[in-house]
Amino acid sequence: MQNNVTPDETETFEPKIIAFCCHYCAFAAADLAGTMRLQYPPNIHIIRLPCTGKVDALYLLKAFEEGADGVMVAGCEEGSCHFTNGNLRAKKRVHHVRDQLEQTGIEGERLEMFNLSSAMGSRFAEIAHLMTDRIRKLGPLFGNESAN
Amino acid sequence: MIVADQKPINEILGMLERYDKVLFVGCQTCVAVCMAGGEKETGVLASLVRLARQKAGQPIEIDEAAIQRQCEEEFIEPLEADGYQAILSLGCGVGVNKLADHFGIPVLPGLNTGFMGHIEEHGVWAETCAGCGDCVLHRTGGICPVVRCAKSLMNGPCGGYTDDGLCESGTGAPCAWIAIYKRLKELGLLESMTETSPPKDWSKDRFSGPRTRVREDVRL
Amino acid sequence: MKLTELIDSGKFVVTGEVGPPKGTDLSDLVKEAKTLMPAVDAINVTDMQSATMYLGSLATCHIFKENDLEPVYQLTCRDRNRIALQSDLLSAVTLGIENVLILTGDHPLMGDHPQAKPVYDVDSVQLLEIASHLGEGEDMVGNELNGKLDLCLGAVVRPIAEPLEPQIIKLEKKVKAGARFIQTQGVFDASHFEKFMNAIQHIDVPILVGIILLKSDRMARFMNKNVAGVEVPEPLVEEMANAKSKAKTSVQIAGRLINEMKDMCQGVHIMSLGWEKRVPEVLAAAGLYELPKKKKKKKVE
């Protein structure tokens, strides 16, 4: 009975999640996850960046505009950026865009920054699960306006 | 340069509430340099507004443009605004005025225009000139007391500066007069601080209606 | 009576200070001022102290005059332009006010209306010049005035500052502009004050040293942290902290400070911050006033 409380669409909703991944860590970690044959949801669409420092507010917003239900930025662990502090800059930009999204009524949780190293294949798979579950619970970015 | 700041997104959404086809116009001069209303900021704002309106179930069509200078007619001329219900300008207030004069549709301000200033460091801008129309910088070591002193004092500091040389107002700004004193001392020009400055002629400032400047020799 | 007349007569001048209330009822303030008046020569009436909106200084000075209290009309540059300032000075003369203290005024950001547009059309040096010029029978743009303006103008200085030189330069300008007496920010250390007095030896103007009545050690610490130019030395803070009676100790400290500094200057300005009734005791402790001997009188009766 309790399961019926959740609408059917949410149960079967497969979110589209864009992951902006740093070449030196998250992208390699995703690769490793594959080599390790770890299962992770196919909802994650990876875009490789030379560094998360390349992330721009416009990338994040355009991803949402073009149909993403969630966006993640995955960079090196703090202090380990290949370009010294690109990941710290990305963090500030992600926070800024999150704030702006929240002010306009869009859940900030749809956008998240993660930090991991290239050796963390299983952590990447874990993040992919976490993000997919989170966005699945939130539902599609658009399309349920009347329900609100 | 003119330093401005984007208005809060909710204020912008409020101004746009009644429209569903709008042109966003950025300006590629001062406000692009201060990262408030250039081409990029125009794109980010347009994207954010589209997302917000889509989410609210009231989609909006926004086209984006950025012209070199909104304060000059020759750059505005090529801009087409047919078919739009309104324009949101990301220029400074001068640009908004100018676009509003030019186009027969409502022009809305996307920015709060702040001040004339300089870049202190990447991401930090500071006000250094008030445009008072009667410059005194030759007497104050190149540090403006009109705008950098919260009280626009002309004859030395009040009694409120902290031991760190900060203004009593608590804004974190350095006391302009302590800075002037130190600069004049370094320059060996402290005697200019001992001369009494007469009351300022504020009629040359912005308090006597809009100011215009005419150079007959260059008029066409 | 003009403070300068008293100073010229060789008297060690004593001024107190009160702040008008938020509202229209002056009865308490007049009562407080009346307890103060026998012990002092004049009472400063603040002009919206701490940039907070209060009943006006000018109206309060007028009521003081009606009650035989001698006011020092404080006038700041914060809230009025040169037109209003000159007009208020004329009004002051018309109401019989003789002493005017001219100040810059705290910034509105420090008060209860931080959204206010600050004026500061002229600064304190310029306003002193303007007020002096009014005394010559002309307004600042040269228009003739009817009636005579004969005001005793005063100004303020902060004796403890780092750097101090800008304060001294400004003091020189204020005196040149017509300041005939100077009241200082509160001083808690006689050696600091001595250094200041030595630094201004070349300036010929009577100095009234500022004395603030301490109410508690907390208040002392608060001022040390938040009030520019006020430095309460640690031993005094401790003395207040250990005091059995804060009021008694406060009176002792103030009396002691005045005693230590009275030979260096021409007067004292006491800021009692609500403790007006303690001021006579302070001055008695400093040997500047004889308290009325109530008990003896009763015995005689």
Scan residues 171-190 of B and list those with Cβ closer than 8 Å to C: 171, 177-178, 181-182, 190
Q: Is B170 in CB contact (< 8 Å) with chain C?
A: yes
C156 and B159 within 8 Å at the Cβ level: the answer is yes
Of B8, B50, B55, the CB nearest to A145: B55
Chains that touch C (3 or more CB pairs under 8 A): B
Tokens of B36: 């408030």
Cβ–Cβ contacts within 10 Å for residue A148, how many?
9
Tokens of C137: 């029978």
Q: Is B115 on the interface with C (CB under 8 A)?
A: no
Of B158, B162, B181, the CB nearest to C165: B181
Q: Contacts of residue C118 in chain B, CB cutoff 8 Å?
A: 150-151
Q: Which residues of B touch C124 (CB under 8 A)?
A: 155, 158
Q: Say how many Å lie between the first and final Cα of chain A, rounded.
A: 23
The residue type at B176: A
Nearest CB among A62, A105, A145 relative to B47 is that of A62
Domain that holds residue C217: 3-300
Q: So what's the ipTM on this one?
A: 0.93
Peptide bond into C166 cis (omega under 30): no
Alpha helices in chain C (DSSP H): 3-8, 27-36, 57-66, 82-94, 124-135, 165-176, 190-199, 217-226, 234-241, 246-261, 279-285, 294-300
Residue B11 pLDDT exceeds 80 = yes
Pairing mode, if any, of strands B21-27 and B124-129?
unpaired
Q: What are the C-alpha distances in Å from B207 to residues B14, B202, B203, C213?
A: 31, 7, 6, 44
pLDDT classification of C292: cutoffs 50, 70, 90: confident
Q: Give the count of beta carbons closer than 10 Å to the beta carbon of residue C276.
A: 24
Min Cα separation B173/chain A (Å): 25
Q: Which of A61, A145, A146 sits opposite B51 (nearest CB)?
A: A61
Residues in C touching B182 (Cβ below 8 Å): 163
The reported pLDDT for the residue numbered B207 is 87
Pairing of strands B111-121, B2-6: antiparallel
Contact A104 B13 (CB under 8 A): yes
Give the residue-averaged pLDDT of C179-192: 98
What is the architecture of the domain spanning A13-138?
3-Layer(aba) Sandwich (3.40)
DSSP alpha helix (H) spans, A1-84: 8-12, 26-35, 57-65
Considering only CA atoms, which of B115, B212, B54, B22 is closest in space to residue A148? Answer: B54
C99 touches chain B (CB under 8 A): no
CB contact under 8 A, B155 and C126: yes
Count of domains in chain C?
1
Q: What is the mean pLDDT of chain C?
A: 95
Is C156 at the interface with chain B, CB within 8 A?
A: yes
C235 touches chain B (CB under 8 A): no
Interatomic CA distance for residues B43 and A145, integer angstroms: 25
Q: Which of A101, A113, A111 is nearest to B54 (CA)?
A: A101
Residue A48 burial by Cβ neighbours in a 10 Å radius (0-12, 13-18, 19+): middle
For chain A (148 residues), the mean pLDDT of every run of 10, in chain order, is: 46 91 96 94 96 97 97 96 96 97 96 97 96 96 64
Q: Do chains B and C touch (3 or more CB pairs under 8 A)?
A: yes
C121 in reach of chain B (CB within 8 A): yes
Confidence at C225, pLDDT banded by 50, 70, 90: very high
Interface A:C, ≥3 CB–CB pairs < 8 Å: no
> What's the gap in Å between the CA of C122 and the closest CA on chain B?
6
Query: pLDDT tens across C259-291, in order?
Result: 999 999 999 999 999 999 999 999 999 999 998
Q: Give chain B as a 3 state SS string.
A: CEEEEECCHHHHHHHHCCCCEEEEEEECCHHHHCCCCCHHHHHHHHHHHHHHHHHCCCCCEEEEEEECCCCCHHHHCCCCCCCCCEEEECCCHHHHHHHHHHCCCCEEECEEEEEEEEEEECCEEEEEECCCCCCCHHHCCCCCHHHHCCCCCCCCCCCCCCCCCECCCCCCCECHHHHHHHHHHHHCCCHHHHCCCCCCCHHHCCECECCCCCCHHHCC
**Interface membership of C231 toward B (CB under 8 Å):** no
pLDDT of residue A12: 75
CB within 8 Å: B151 and C165: no
Mean pLDDT of B153-168: 95
Asked whether residue C300 carries a pLDDT value surpassing 70, the answer given is no
Q: Where residue C40 sits, what CATH number does that domain have?
A: 3.20.20.220
Query: Which residue of chain A is at minimal alpha-carbon distance from B53?
Result: A104
Question: Do residue C126 and residue B158 have CB atoms under 8 angstroms apart?
Answer: no
Confidence of residue B43 (pLDDT cuts 50, 70, 90): very high
Which pLDDT belongs to residue C298?
A: 52
In chain B, the N- to C-terminal Cα span, in Å, equals 27
**DSSP designation for C22:** S
* 8 Å CB contact of B51 and A104: yes
A58 → chain B, closest CA residue: B44
> Torsions phi, psi of C58, nearest 5?
-65, -50
Give the 3-state secondary structure of A63-132. HHHCCCCEEEEEECCCCCECCECHHHHHHHHHHHHHHHHHHCCCCHHHEEEEECCCCCHHHHHHHHHHHH
Average pLDDT over residues C21-33: 97
Residue B65 has pLDDT above 70, yes or no: yes
pLDDT at A5: 44
Whether C166 has its CB under 8 Å from any CB of chain B: the answer is: yes
What structural domains and CATH numbers belong to chain B?
A: 2-115 (3.40.50.2300), 131-204 (no CATH)
Q: What SS3 class is residue C123?
A: coil
Cβ atoms of A111 and A97 closer than 8 Å: yes
Question: pLDDT value at position B143?
Answer: 98
Per-domain residue ranges of chain A: 13-138
Strand partners, B23: B63, B87
Distance CA B135, CA B71 (A): 24
Q: Cβ contact (<8 Å) for B169 and C110?
A: yes
By Cβ distance, the residue of B162, B181, B182 closest to C228 is B162
Nearest-Cα distance to chain C for B169, in Å, is 6
Q: Which residue of C has its CA nearest to B200?
A: C122
Whether residue B150 and residue C172 make contact (CB cut-off 8 A), yes or no, is no
Cβ distance of B159 and C104 shorter than 8 Å = yes
Q: Which residue of chain B has the CA closest to A101?
A: B48
Convert the pLDDT of each residue in C139-159 to its tens digit. 999 999 998 889 999 999 999
* pLDDT for residue C10: 94
Residues of A with CB under 8 A from a CB of B: 56-58, 61-62, 64-65, 100-101, 103-106, 141-142, 145-146
User: How many angstroms away from the CA of B46 is the closest CA of chain C?
Assistant: 32
**Chain B residues within an 8 Å CB radius of A101:** 48, 51
**A122: phi then psi, degrees, rounded to nearest 5:** -70, -30
C122 and chain B: CB distance < 8 Å anywhere?
A: yes
Chain B residue whose CA is closest to C165: B181
> Are A104 and B57 a contacting pair at CB < 8 A?
no
Residues 10-39 of C with CB under 8 A from B: none
Q: Does the distance separating the beta carbons of A103 and B9 come in below 8 Å?
A: yes
Q: Which of C102, C119, C125, C129 to mutate: most B Cβ within 10 Å? A: C125
pLDDT of residue C92: 97
Percent of chain C with pLDDT over 90: 94
Mean pLDDT of C28-44: 96
